């Protein structure tokens, strides 16, 4: 089935297809094995120098000339799409498009007789990472670990003063740690495009709370850092939970349970395993430790695919229907969350191999920082 996409390379599928950055939306077609990008004159030179050489670059301007001949009130992009589909003989064929395909353009094409088939995974091949992609993610995680070492060192060199953590004479805050982490990782070519999480206390009991205000002593501090490399465009993703000072008995039990849940998931990871069964292995460990799974406690999936997007296929949830295969890169991040105790989450990134898995993160999971 032919495939057509219309986006710029901020769209992960389009970047994957092209391999270079193009700021303005353009048409990409794959028809009978031939791949074509329709580009304006400003982009073609750089495209030919940097993009995948298997993709043919075609000038946009002749298509625009034909689009201007079409009457009616449709916008230029809709008319351009009609010209493209007619030019490549696609109007009467089933054509695969992604969910992100512009709705107005899709409406215009369908009104003219096009048969668009929306595909949930427009590029299913992205689920299986190449050695190069795995190398990018490994590189990003190595850089991310520098930030975690910085956080650990900052907490270690801070002092508890009553209900506050003091660092160099000032109260330690989420905002300060985020700013410093951003500086550390910017120098390593990583950008915070999604907004990291550094939260403590009751905020840490809300998995996606970004964190604000004072970092609290004697309670959990969740640090979840998921920056994108500005050179290779791939993400890293890693979470650790700390306590500066003394952890309660419940928090220590939570951390031990989450660690065991992660280990149980690791043990279940292998090619041919269902993503659901890997989640269930982690959930079983949580239940065995006396904690909840579902509406409270362990309230999210085990993990998600990682690559050009922070969240992509495959997903390891209790409802997943996917089977793991070599080359899948996924996060393994069980967690526990209770408002009265805070939250605990530990996240590593693994790649499924022919024999099992490889942990790409390799960083200590220590809870207490005195």
- Which run of H or E residues covers position 220? strand 220-225
Pairing of strands 94-98, 115-119: parallel
Tell me the per-residue pLDDT of 78-130, one tens digit each, with 9 for 90 and over: 999 999 999 999 998 999 999 999 999 999 999 999 999 999 999 999 999 99
Cα distance between residue 223 and residue 299, in whole Å: 18
* Res. 46: pLDDT tops 90: no
Cα distance between residue 323 and residue 128, in whole Å: 12
Report the alpha-carbon angle 358-349-198, nearest 5: 150
* Res. 281: pLDDT tops 90: yes
Q: Which among 54, 46, 58, 53 has a CA at the least distance from the CA of 22?
A: 46
User: CA dist 74 to 81, 104, 303, 338, Å?
Assistant: 11, 9, 43, 53
* Res. 73: pLDDT tops 90: no
Q: How many CB atoms lie within 10 A of CB 346?
A: 22
pLDDT at 258: 98
pLDDT at 72: 85
- Which run of H or E residues covers position 191? strand 190-191
In the chain, % of residues over pLDDT 70: 100
List beta partners, residue 349: 331
Ordered by start, the domain boundaries in the chain are 3-122, 127-369
Q: Which CATH class for the 127-369 domain?
A: alpha beta
pLDDT at 92: 87
What is the CATH number assigned to the segment(s) 3-122? 3.40.350.10
Do 301 and 276 form a contact (C-beta atoms < 8 A)?
no
Tell me the per-residue pLDDT of 232-255, one tens digit each, with 9 for 90 and over: 999 999 999 999 999 999 999 999
pLDDT band, very low/low/confident/very high, at 50 (cuts 50, 70, 90):
confident
* Res. 309: pLDDT tops 90: yes
Work out the mean pLDDT of the chain and round it to a whole number: 96
User: DSSP states of 53-110 as a string?
Assistant: TTEEEEESHHHHHHHTT--SS--HHHHHHHHHHHHTT-TTSEEEEETTS-HHHHHHHH
- Which run of H or E residues covers position 4? strand 3-7
pLDDT band, very low/low/confident/very high, at 51 (cuts 50, 70, 90):
confident
List beta partners, residue 214: 173
Cα distance between residue 208 and residue 161, in whole Å: 28
CA 83 to chain centre: 35
User: DSSP states of 324-361 as a string?
Assistant: --TT-EEEE--EEEETTTEEEE-BEEEEE-SSSEEES-
Tell me the per-residue pLDDT of 24-37, one tens digit each, with 9 for 90 and over: 999 999 999 999 99
The two three-digit tokens of residue 79, written as one number: 């008319």
pLDDT at 363: 97
Tell me the per-residue pLDDT of 310-367, one tens digit each, with 9 for 90 and over: 999 999 999 999 999 999 999 999 999 999 999 999 999 999 999 999 999 999 999 9
């Amino acid at each position: 089935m032919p495939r057509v996409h219309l986006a710029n390379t901020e769209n992960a599928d389009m970047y994957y297809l092209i391999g270079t950055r193009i700021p303005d939306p353009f048409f990409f077609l794959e028809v009978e094995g031939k791949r074509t990008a329709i580009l304006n004159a400003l982009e073609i030179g750089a495209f030919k120098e940097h993009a995948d050489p298997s993709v043919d670059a075609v000038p946009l301007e002749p298509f625009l000339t034909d689009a201007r001949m079409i009457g009616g009130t449709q916008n230029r992009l809709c008319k351009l799409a009609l010209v493209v589909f007619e030019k490549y003989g696609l109007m009467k064929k089933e054509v695969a498009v992604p969910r992100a395909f512009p709705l107005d353009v899709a409406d215009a094409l369908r009104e003219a007789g096009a048969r668009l088939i929306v595909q949930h995974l427009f590029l299913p091949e992205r689920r299986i990472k190449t050695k190069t992609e795995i190398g990018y993610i490994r590189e990003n995680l190595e850089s991310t670990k520098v930030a975690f070492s910085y956080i650990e060192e900052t907490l270690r060199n801070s002092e508890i003063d009553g209900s506050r953590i003091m660092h160099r004479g000032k109260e330690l805050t989420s905002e300060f740690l985020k700013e410093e982490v951003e500086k550390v990782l910017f120098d390593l070519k990583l950008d915070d495009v999604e907004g990291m999480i550094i939260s403590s206390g009751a905020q840490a009991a809300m998995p996606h709370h970004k964190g604000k205000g004072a970092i609290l002593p004697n309670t959990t501090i969740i640090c979840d850092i998921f920056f994108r490399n500005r050179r290779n465009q791939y993400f890293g993703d890693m979470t650790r939970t700390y306590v500066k000072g003394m952890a309660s008995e419940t928090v220590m039990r939570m951390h031990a349970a989450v660690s065991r849940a992660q280990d149980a998931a690791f043990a279940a990871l292998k090619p041919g395993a269902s993503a659901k069964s890997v989640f269930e292995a982690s959930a079983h460990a949580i239940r065995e430790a006396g904690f909840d799974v579902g509406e409270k406690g362990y309230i999210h999936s085990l993990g998600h695919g990682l690559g050009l997007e922070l969240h992509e296929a495959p997903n390891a949830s209790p409802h997943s229907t996917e089977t793991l295969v070599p080359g899948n890169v996924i996060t393994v991040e069980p967690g526990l969350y209770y408002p009265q105790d805070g939250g605990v989450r530990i996240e590593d990134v693994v790649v499924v191999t022919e024999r099992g898995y490889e942990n790409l993160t390799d960083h200590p999971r220590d809870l207490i920082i005195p």
